[in-house]
Amino acid sequence: MRKKIQNVLILLGSPREDGNSTRLAYAFADAASRQGHRVQSIRLPALDIGPCDGCRQCWKRASEPCVIRDDMDSVYPLLLDADVLAFATPLHFYTWSASIKRLTDRLVCLGPDFKRNLKGRRSLLFAAAADDRPAAFAGLKATYRLVAEYMGWKPLGEVLVGGVEAEGDIARAKRALAKAEALGTRLS
């Protein structure tokens, strides 16, 4: 049976251009590209994405996703076009980075109760941390899983790598890189 080509959007949350979480997500992205999927990645820290101000205008005017005019104007269409959303983040104070937090807060206008929503997307999480205890990822995992559940996403996998601090440390994490690659290869 032929594979369905998927639109994959990688949301990079590291302030480092060539960070550990980015390299991890690229192992997935490269494998998915080799399978013929359309893969696009965006570096969230390079964008002007303001915080949700809680105005709730989107709850009243669902035809206009958000009243704030910034780079989310170009990110919303990418999110809506995507079949697969892959979050890549460093662990920052035991959760995902500020740029991913800003993005996810701005998803309130695409929540499950709106006509325009992100239900049915599939999602992945790639993360890197200095702390090598599995428990260090507890907050991040809970946040990601609850966000995915709320938004109506089907989680496809998580690759969480502890014990990596300096840029490039991820190269040592061969099993994790192979797991990320396998997730890309298996994507269908």
End-to-end CA distance of the chain: 11
Identified binder of ligand FMN from the candidate list 65, 90, 157, 184, rule CB under 6 A: 90
List 100, 125, 164, 177, residue binding ligand FMN (CB under 6 A): 164
Q: CA 50: distance to chain centroid?
A: 17
User: Which H or E element spans position 72?
Assistant: helix 72-81
Query: For ligand FMN, which residue of 25, 49, 128, 177 counts as binding (CB under 6 A)?
Result: 128
Alpha-carbon gap, residue 50 to 98, rounded angstroms: 11
Of 133-162, which residues contact ligand FMN (CB under 6 A)? Answer: 136
Encoded tokens for 157: 């996998």
Q: Other CB atoms closer than 10 Å to residue 22's CB: what's the count?
A: 24
CB of 69 to ligand FMN, least distance (A): 28
Residue 101: count of CB within 10 angstroms of its CB = 18
**Residue 103 vs 151, nearer CB to ligand FMN:** 103
Task: Examine residue 22 and tell whether it contacts ligand FMN (CB under 6 A).
Answer: yes
A 10 A CB-CB count for 111 gives 16
**Closer residue to ligand FMN in complex, CB, 5/142:** 142
Cβ at position 72, least distance to ligand FMN in Å: 22
Residue 99 interacts with ligand FMN (CB under 6 A)?
Answer: no
CA distance 141 to 144: 5
Residue from 6, 41, 68, 94 that binds ligand FMN (CB under 6 A)? 94
Residues that bind ligand FMN (CB under 6 A): 14, 16, 19-22, 90-94, 128-131, 136, 164-165, 167
